[in-house]
Chain A
């Protein structure tokens, strides 16, 4: 059976992802999303001027968290995934602040980078409960 990732919603809010698939099927996705998070974490990224939207970071984080829930695969891979989630977590919680060592973006650049958020998206359109429970 192939891996299936199903989005769970409560109205417009994405409350998490349901993952159907074996340990083996999950592995490539966990590797992929861990790498994406690592590469996109602003404190490690080589180009802080071009960041994904915070919604995208939250979505990738929640998908990775869902894949890790109940996954009993390689422990080292799991540790690396949780470390990547922790790092992005810190960023998302403090993302109103300019990044250390960077010049604040202009309004136009913020728009370009997707920084301007829709009103009411305090959690970037995602319910982080499952992320917190995965990384606790």
Chain B
């Protein structure tokens, strides 16, 4: 069987993404992990100075995919496991900061537009970070 990445939706939600389930041969999962580390690293090491919902969502999405893979491999199987963990930690820290920044911007925009923010789920860029928090060290 080839590598399969399945999107998991949060319970009771039709749109909040709770994470990714990854299945397939170990070598393909490791290859995918390498690619995700490579794509995610520049985005979190040198984030765009103008963070917004779209950029935050992209980082959250990639990070959760990587977390989904790391959950299915042992640290000794992936020689970049430590690097992946540190990239995830950086992503998590960045998202926490971005969430506050975007929330401020969004509040301003919404105040200008005369609308109210609906619910708290938007503060997570459309993703449930529980999985990411479990994988990121020190959380």
Stretch from A3-11, A68-76, A103-111, A127-135 forming part of the interface with B: A3-11
Q: How far is the CB of B82 from chain A (nearest CB, A)?
A: 15
Chain A positions within 8 Å of B55 at CB level:
35, 39
Instruction: Tell me the complex Cα distance, A32–B3, Å.
Output: 20
Contact residues, A37-76 vs B (CB, 8 A): 39-40, 45-47, 50-53, 55-57, 59-60
Do B3 and A7 have beta carbons less than 8 Å apart?
A: yes
B35 interfacial contact with A, CB 8 Å: yes
On whether A28 and B61 interact (CB within 8 A), knowing A6-B4, A46-B49, the answer reads: yes
Looking at the complex, which one of A9, A35, A51, A55 makes contact with B2 (CB distance below 8 Å)?
A9
**Contact present for A4 and B5 (CB under 8 Å):** yes
Whether B41 and A32, one on each chain, are in contact in the complex, defined by CB atoms closer than 8 angstroms, is no
Residues in B with CB closer than 8 Å to A3 are 6-7
| A36 in contact with B62 (CB, 8 Å) | yes
CB-nearest residue of chain B to A54 = B38
List B contacts of A60 (CB < 8 A): 35, 39
B2 lies within 8 A of A39 (CB): no
Partner of A114, one of B17, B38, B49: B38
Number of interface residues of B (CB under 8 A): 32
User: B24 to A56, Cβ gap below 8 A?
Assistant: no
Is A97 an interface residue when CB atoms closer than 8 A count as contact?
no
A101 CA / B85 CA spacing, docked (Å): 33
**Which of chain B's residues has its CB closest to A125's CB?**
B31
Contacts of B8 in A (CB 8 A): 2
Contact assessment for B2 and A8 in the assembled complex, using a CB-CB cutoff below 8 Å: yes
Query: Which residues of chain B are near A35, meaning CB under 8 Å?
Result: 54-55, 57-58
What is the bound-complex CA distance between A75 and B2, given in angstroms? 31
Task: Evaluate contact between A39 and B35: CB separation under 8 angstroms.
Answer: no
Taking A46-B48, A50-B42 as known contacts, 17 extra A-B pairs with beta carbons closer than 8 A to each other, sorted by chain A number, are A2-B7, A4-B6, A6-B3, A8-B2, A21-B7, A32-B58, A35-B54, A35-B55, A39-B42, A39-B48, A39-B55, A40-B42, A46-B46, A46-B49, A47-B42, A56-B39, A59-B35
4 A-B pairs with least C-beta separation: A35-B58, A47-B46, A56-B38, A32-B61
> Taking beta carbons and an 8 Å cutoff, which residues of B are in contact with A?
2-9, 15, 17, 24, 28, 32, 34-36, 38-39, 41-43, 45-46, 48-49, 54-55, 57-58, 61-62, 126
